[in-house]
Structures are given as structure tokens and as C-alpha cells.
Structure 1
Amino acid sequence: MTAVSRAEQARAASEALVGITGVSRRFGDVVALDGVTLDIRQGEFFALLGPSGCGKTTLLRILAGFESPDEGTVTLDGADLLSRPAHRRPVNLMFQSYALFPHMTVAKNVAYGLEREGLPRAEVRTRVAEVLDTVGLTPQAGRRPHQLSGGQRQRVALARAIVKRPRLLLLDEPLSALDKKVRAEMQLELKRLQHEVGITFVVVTHDQEEAMSLADRIAVMDEGRVEQVDAPVRLYERPATPFVAGFIGDNNLFEGTAAGDGLVVPGLGTLPATGGFAAGAPALLGVRPESVRLTSGGVLRGVVADVSFFGGVSHIAVRVPGHDRPVLVAAQGPAKVQAGAEVGLDWRAADAVLIAR
């Protein structure tokens, strides 16, 4: 371990709000979590991303106090969190369904938790007014949930969660009930609110776009294990495992053995990449569609199978003899080729990544 990496680890540990170490959870023969270890830093927007059944919701429920792990520890500010019952944790969970009380006004929904704690009425009124102003719902304070749009109901649920000023706010698929346009607006709103209120947010989602647009860091999970924890750009540009390379965005993957200047793929030759792997080591090469260029020459040759235009970007699928799936190319503007055309494909070595198999 280098001095730099030791320093980075020490800094991360000092900033960690939540420490999760070796957490496992089984339900009969099903392993929901398998030795999960990660940290969540103070004030960050952290995402747990993965397909259904990967364990992300189970981990969220452990943080909330609704599940207990079979093994492992969870700390908050260095103190044991698992020994504290759910209602005693400085943690709040915003449910996917929002769970608003239909007979109560917006203001009453937001005030409910504070009133249950027995806070003075004047303090409740002040805090509710402040949080409604923060989420932009002051004009709707007297309305009931059925009089609100989906985006407004989502804001009420968020206001009710943050009005109690938790150290940690957990969000379970918070935008899944919204249509695409409102979801995009609420992604920006959630990010703004998280910065404004200064609370650490942890969101569970299977939506890559949602995680990439919201989170400061993302833990990609699969089959109960953490595959990689990184910033969105780093996850996209430098996936560390085959699963992450295939799960995050579109990717062209080639299987072969590492060479000094790339990856040797049977039937295709040596494809350019950087990676520092020992020669002969089994590896995957990943190159994103936007990094692949159509040329007259190139390292590969194939025939255009399909061309689609999506508002400023053309998606081109090229069948390459000896490769089991089309190579995808993303080109700006309308495509200059048509289905059936023979083309060359090329990319810079720096734009491709080698991944251990």
C-alpha cells in the first residue's frame, strides 16, 4: 500500500458518518448480503445501485433498524448503531409509496412526527414553515394529498422526513412513481435539497441514470456483494469488474488475454487498451460506444446492421465477423452510413479499459 493510499484511507475514515463492516444477512438458503463493507461520508449523497434482488434494500432496512444482520457491524459516528432500536436512531426512511395520511393537510403530514415527539407547538409551527419553504410547498400547506401532483406528494414525503433533522436520510426508490419528465425535475430538486439541508442521503435504486445524476458516490451491488464503490464518472470510465462494465451504461466487451499494447482476442487480433496487466492474463476489454470511431481502416471491420437516430446522437450497430454481438457506435448528429455498409472501427487505447476476469 502506498503512502498516498494510506492517507486517502485515513481521510475517508475520518469523514465517515456510517461504517458498514462485514455485514451479512441470510433468509433461509438465500444470501441477501454477503460480507458487505463500505463507508458513507458525512454530507454526501450516496447511492446503492443494482438489479432487483442484489441486497440493496436489505442493507437499507438494516440501517433503518427494520432488519438485523446475521454478522457484521454498523456504526454511526463511530458508535454502534445496531444496538439502538429503530425509533431511537437519528435516521429517517422515506418510503417508495410516500405513505402520506390522506385525511391530513400538507402541514399536518409534515408536523406529525414532531407532534408525536411532544415538541412545543410554536417550535413545530416554525420548523414546518421552514421546511415547507425549503421544498417550495408553502402555498400548498392547507391542501390534502389527493389535491397534489405526484411531484408535490414526493416533496411532502421528503419534507416530513427532513423536518425531524435526521443525521441520515434513507430513500427507497424515491422517484419510481413519477413519470419521466417529473422524475428528471425531481432529480435536480433532490440534489438541491440535499446540499441545502446538509443531511447525508442514501438512495436505493435500480435506475442507473438516477444514481449517476444524483450521487456523489455509488456502491454497485450484485448478489449480495459490493462490486465497486466510486464516483459516477469513475464508475463509467473505469469499471473494476465485468459486472460493473456490463451494468453501467452501454459497453462493448471483448474477451481475451492481456498483451503489452492491449488485448489479444482470438479471431480479431490485438485490440488497443491500457491496463497494466501481465502478458497472458485473462481479461476483458471494455470500450464505450461514444469512444468508437467509424473509419476506412481501423482495428476491426464489419457491416452496419442497424442505424437509429435519437435527438442529436446516432446509434450504429456493426456486425464484426468473429464477435458474438454487434459493436455499438454512438456518433453525434445524423449517421453518415446506412445499413449494409462495410466500415472500419477504431478507438484510442486510452479510451478502453482492461478488466480482470
Structure 2
Amino acid sequence: MNAVPEAPAAARTLVGIEGVSRRFGDVVALDEVTLDIRQGEFFALLGPSGCGKTTLLRVLAGFETPDAGTVTLDGADLLARPAHRRPVNLMFQSYALFPHMSVAKNVAYGLEREKLPRAEVAARVEEVLATVGLAGQARRRPHQLSGGQRQRVALARAIVKRPRLLLLDEPLSALDKKVRAEMQLELKRLQHEVGITFVVVTHDQEEAMSLADRIAVFQAGRVEQVDAPVRLYQRPRTPFVAGFVGANNLFEGTAAGEGLSSPGLGTLPAESGLAAGTPALLGVRPESVRLGEAGEPRVLSGVVADVSFYGGVSHIAVRVEGHDRPVLAATQGPTRIAAGAEVGLGWAAADAVLIAT
């Protein structure tokens, strides 16, 4: 495994979230959440349904009031300002475009409500449509556009008011896979170009990893880990993050001098910073697992249960006696290994992580 890159020098904090809690009856949606979101950052709130990420987005937008905690924008109390007075815009999952209005009119709507001069409105609309690549679609109606184009209109309408903070709630979920991949690149380009801080809510790990400068992983109303995508993937700090972010092979046991002591499997290699005997989980990613003949030096051995090939990568599932689920390995290109073959499995200690449980 390559060394985890050092994080760049931190930009100043734009949004400070401190001890924010929100309950709905017996349900704890947010449990003392503390985060900082930096100026000019693309920040992702990632987690399964019901984990609290959308509730936090609504708190930032002004649609929910927390039961406890503070939220500041540039050091000033954001919670004291009503939603319509906040320099914050929210782009909804449904896009919420006006079907009877042209693209240009949809984008201009918020500016016109503020009674800005017509010339300024026209200039800003023209500028933002050029930025999102829709200069030639200004007179069309939403039903005449593709899904990706409608998403760009919604983005243009959100950024034309030049908010300090743009909130995006599952912005790409309505798009098919190919268009979604294109729009991920477009969102990242746009965010850098306009210089607005973006906060995106998503349950899609790939989306969060490809878009965000940093990701906060949520579970049951709490923040499990905040990190850059590569560090989050390579060095998860909690069992939930290890199992939720990307495919992972997880082994239970106790920390030992050379890794993890796992009942029935022996000592599995990992770089350990835990005291010997600490209950722990070892995680090793499929791409770090090496396959060899059954007689070669190995950590484990087993029988191939399944081989699948897609996206230029072969995925091999291996049944290992004493382990309750197949061990996954991933190799570039097609493989000659077939189901039923006996294989050895190994990995470098530096490619595995130990997490206290």
C-alpha cells in the first residue's frame, strides 16, 4: 500500500458546528455533532439512510432548529438568522424547476425576487449559464432538456445568487450511471471555478470519494470519522467505517505483536499500534490480497468459490476454513484462476489496518 498522503495546509473554517443535537420524539437524529467546514472546500456528509446527514443539512439551511449546540458562519451565529436571510442555498434532490418557465427564467427567478436591476439579472444569468455549459439552452423549457441538463439548470439557479455555502441533497441520484459519472466531474470543476463552499449529502460512497476534499461518515446521528477520501479508505478508524466505506476483508481477534491473533486462523499480519490483547478488527482491502498456489508461502489458504470479471478487474472470492465469509481478492485484468482451485492468500503488514473494537 502506498503511504497515505499528508493533508494540505488547512484553509480557514467557514462553518463551525459544535455539539449539535436534534431529536424527533424518541429518535436521536443528531447526537452532539461537531464539525468544521473550510472555506472553498467540497465537503461530503456520507452515511446510510436515517443516519442524520440530511437533518444536519436542514439545520444549515434553516429548515430545522437543533435542540442543542451552535452553528457559526465566519464566526457569526448562523442559527440566529432565518432561512431566507442566510447566505446559504439548497439544491433539492428533485431539482424543483418551474416547468412553465424557460431555463433563463428559472435561473433568474431568485434574483428577480430580490428586485435587482434587469441589466444585472441578465448579465448574471448569462454568465452562470455559460459556466454550466447551457448558454445555448436559455430559451428551452425543463421538459425539453435531458436529466443532466436539468441538473445543471438547478445548479445554475443555486449559484447565481452567489451564496457563501451551497448545500446539495443527493444531487445526482436521479441520473443514470453514465450521466452521473459525467456530472461528478462537472460538479467538481464547477465548484473550483466558482469558489463556493459545497456541502453534499449522499449515501453513495463512490460519489463522495470522487467529489469531496473531505468526508464526514455518519452513523446513528454521530460522526464516525472525518478525513480525506484516500485516508478514509486506507485508514478507517472505527469498525463501522471499515465495513461501510468500500469492500473490505474483516477479521476479528485480539492485537498481537505482529498483527492480529484470530481464533482458528492464527496470527494475521498488520502494523499494530494497539496494546497486545486488545480486542480488535483487522481490515485488508481486496486489491491488497495476493493470490498464489496453495503450496506457496501464505497467510491463509482456501478454495475459490467464485470468479467475476467486470470493469477491467477480476474479483475472486475464496472460502477459508475457520472464517465465516469469503475472503475477497481483486486483480487487474482477467484471471486464469477458476472456481474450485486451491489457493494461498497473503498481504503485507503495511496494507492491513487494526481497529480497536
Superposition TM-score, scaled by structure 2 size: 0.96
Structure 2 counterpart of 1:205, one-letter code? T
1:126 match: 123
Aligned to 1:206: 203
User: 2:66 aligns to what SS in structure 1?
Assistant: coil
Q: Does the residue aligned with 1:66 lie in a helix, a strand or coil?
A: coil
Q: Paired residue for 1:117?
A: 114
Q: Secondary structure at the match of 2:151?
A: helix
Query: Shift in Å at residue 297 of structure 1?
Result: 2.8
For residue 314 of structure 1, report the CA deviation from its aligned partner: 0.6
**Corresponding position: 1:264 with 2:261:** yes
Equivalent in the alignment of 2:3: none
Tell me which moved more, 291-300 or 279-288. Answer: 291-300
The residue aligned with 1:154 is 151
Identity of aligned residues (%): 86
Residues 1:186 and 2:195 aligned together: no
Given candidates 187, 191, 195, the residue that maps to 2:192 is 195
Q: CA deviation at 1:184?
A: 0.4
The residue type paired with residue 303 of structure 1 is V
Local SS of the residue matching 2:19 = strand
Matched, 1:232 2:191: no
Q: CA deviation at 1:310?
A: 1.0
CA distance in 2, matches of 1:290, 1:125: 52
Structure 1, unmatched stretches of 5+, are: 1-7
Per the TM alignment, residue 334 of structure 1 is displaced from its structure 2 partner at its CA by 1.2
Equivalence for 2:4? none
- The CA distance in 2 between the partners of 1:104 and 1:275, in whole Å, is 60
Paired position in structure 1 for 2:67:
70
Query: Quick one: distance in 2 between partners of 1:78 and 1:336?
Result: 59
The separation in 2 between residues aligned to 1:182 and 1:265, in whole angstroms, is 44
SS in structure 2 of the partner of residue 211 of structure 1 = helix
Cα separation, 2, equivalents of 1:291 and 1:355: 17
Can you list the C-alpha shifts for 1:24-45, whole angstroms capped at 9, x where unaligned?
Answer: 0000000000010010000000
Q: Does structure 1 residue 85 correspond to structure 2 residue 82?
A: yes
> Aligned residue for 2:288?
291
Matches within 5 A, 1:98-109: 98-109=95-106
Take 1:333 and 1:310, find their aligned partners in 2: how far apart are those partners?
Answer: 9
Which one of 36, 54, 58 corresponds to residue 57 of structure 1? 54
C-alpha displacement of 1:66: 0.2
Which residue in 2 is equivalent to 1:37?
34
Equivalence for 1:337: 337
Report the Cα distance in structure 2 between the residues aligned to 1:152 and 1:301, rounded to whole angstroms.
51
SS in 2 for 1:191: helix
Q: Which string of whole-angstrom CA distances, capped at 9 and with x for unpartnered residues, describes residues 250-277 of structure 1?
A: 0000000001110000110000001211
**Runs ≥4 in structure 1, deviation > 6 angstroms?**
none
Amino acid of the structure 2 residue aligned with 1:236: Y
Quick one: which amino acid aligns to residue 343 of structure 1?
A: V
Report the secondary structure of 1:176's partner residue.
coil
Distance 2:238 2:263 in 1: 21
Q: 1:138 aligns with which of 135, 138, 156?
A: 135
Distance 1:72 1:122 in 2: 43
Computed over aligned residues only, the root mean square deviation of the Cα atoms, in angstroms, reads 0.9
CA distance in structure 1 between the aligned counterparts of 2:154 and 2:311, rounded to whole angstroms? 34
**Alpha-carbon distance between aligned partners in 2 of 1:126 and 1:339, rounded to the nearest angstrom:** 63
> Which residue of structure 2 lines up, in the alignment, with residue 349 of structure 1?
349
Aligned residue type for 2:316: I
Match of 1:243 in 2: 240
Q: 1:336: Cα distance to partner?
A: 2.2
Q: Deviations over 1:108-129 (max 9, x none)?
A: 0000000000101110011001
Distance in 1 between the 2:286 and 2:46 partners?
A: 22
- In 1: Cα distance, 2:273 partner to 2:187 partner: 39
How far apart are the structure 2 equivalents of 1:338 and 1:165? 56
* Structure 2 partner of 1:322: 322
Per-residue CA deviations over 1:123-175 (Å, capped at 9, x if unaligned) read 00110010001001010000000010000000000000000000000000000
Q: Distance in 2 between matches of 1:141 and 1:338?
A: 55
Give, as a single letter, the amino acid of the residue that structure 2 aligns with 1:349: A
Amino acid at match of 1:152: Q
How many angstroms apart in 2 are the aligned matches of 1:332 and 1:175? 29
- What letter is aligned with 2:222? R
Match of 2:160 in 1: 163
Deviation at 1:312, TM superposition (A): 1.7
Determine the C-alpha separation between the residues in 2 that align with 1:303 and 1:56: 41
Q: CA deviation at 1:333?
A: 1.4
2: CA distance between counterparts of 1:126 and 1:180?
A: 34
Aligned length in residues: 347
